[in-house]
Amino acid sequence: MDMEVLHQKQQVRKRRSFFSRLRASWALGHEREDDPVLFPEMKQQPRRRSAPSKRRKILILSLSSIILAGGCVGLASFVGPRPRALPDLGLTPGASTVHKSLFSYVNSDTANQGSGSPILPDGVLFTAVSSREYTLERGDTLSEIAHENGLDVGTLIAFNNITDVRKIYAGSELKIPNVDGIPYTVRSGDSIASIAEKFSVPVNYILDANDLQSEVITAGQILFVPGGQISEYDYKKAMGTLFTYPTRGRLTSPFGYRSDPFTGVRSMHYGIDLAGPVGTPVSATMEGTVVLVGDRPRGFGKYVVIRHSHGFQSLYGHLSRILVRKGQHISQGQQIGEMGSTGRSTGPHLHFALYRNNVPVNPLGGYLYK
């Protein structure tokens, strides 16, 4: 029994001695299996680095993979998603930088050009203009024909010298050019450059469209100006929406409010007054039909009313003489009477009024053309 107790005490001492050495090793920072502080029996043997165990290898590899993966994720979130592969730009081999290679394709002819405002070269842009014949059919309209051929209505009007679209009918022959533009008759003193400037088109457009070998032109020569536009006057005249001045004279009273020349009271003047000598010719502002002829001594005096297309009517007052009758068809510019001072008037003048759908409109508000 005493021997057994003695053996137990020896075992306790050994354990205490081992844990004392372990605490000392931790204090000194030792953790290796060959630590002489923990294993004194290895103290005299030369120190050597033992090969890491299989478990330790696996642990090291796992930790390395986790660290590497975390670094990649962090880098990706910082840099952004990986860009797609760029197309081959055909960079010059040996170029020191991408910029140098890209700018090697830039020259003085293209350096200042933007995609939004291209600069057209001075080379050939047009071939000689050509046209084809088209026979009008019932139901055809000029606007539909122009649209189907990719042209402006003004091009068809000018190219066919149409003065009134209401006078073309089924069976009429129409010439359709292959490009927008208008014919132009050369006048004395004209040059290709001046014509190009007038219509705001390049000189070479005119040369190419007319197959000219030089800029020499003569008065009376007819040129086609590609891109040229018909004037508003000619367009409205052909479409039947042009109103010409009914007489020569001085504007004495415009459309709008004024002081009544007899009473001085402010009142509305639904027309314009054009003053001139008695007997000055008065003509129809537009083609139409005479619907009223009368004499109102306390108003317009001798007057004429003409009905036009598109809901328009025109009135001519204070005439000294009437040359038309009710129901008569009148052409634009045809004389219908003479200026006078009949009715409620302070002197010889023409009172001219324009109505659209029975509502008075200002003749000088974009309707009258000289």
CATH number of the domain that residue 249 is part of: 2.70.70.10
Domain that holds residue 356: 245-369
- End residue of a domain, out of 176, 204, 239: 239
Percentage of the chain beyond pLDDT 70 is 66
> How many domains is the chain partitioned into structurally?
2
Q: Judge whether 84 lies within some domain.
A: no
- End residue of a domain, out of 239, 265, 285: 239
Which domain CATH number covers 225? 3.10.350.10
pLDDT digits (tens, 9 = 90+) for 34-56: 444 444 444 444 444 445 555 55
Which pair of structure tokens corresponds to residue 288?
């139409």
Going residue by residue through the chain, which has 370 residues, state the pLDDT in tens, using 9 for 90 and above.
Answer: 556 655 565 665 555 555 455 455 444 444 444 444 444 444 444 444 445 555 555 555 665 555 555 554 444 444 444 444 333 333 333 433 333 333 332 333 333 333 333 333 444 456 788 999 999 999 998 999 999 999 999 999 999 999 888 888 899 999 999 999 999 999 999 999 999 999 999 999 999 999 999 999 999 999 999 999 999 888 988 888 889 999 999 999 999 999 998 889 999 999 999 999 999 999 999 999 999 999 999 899 999 999 998 899 999 999 999 999 999 999 999 999 999 999 999 999 999 999 999 999 999 998 998 7
pTM above 0.85, yes or no: no
**3-class secondary-structure state, position 272:** strand
Q: Of 212, 154, 213, 203, give the one whose Cα is nearest residue 182.
A: 154
CB contact at 8 A, 240 and 166: yes
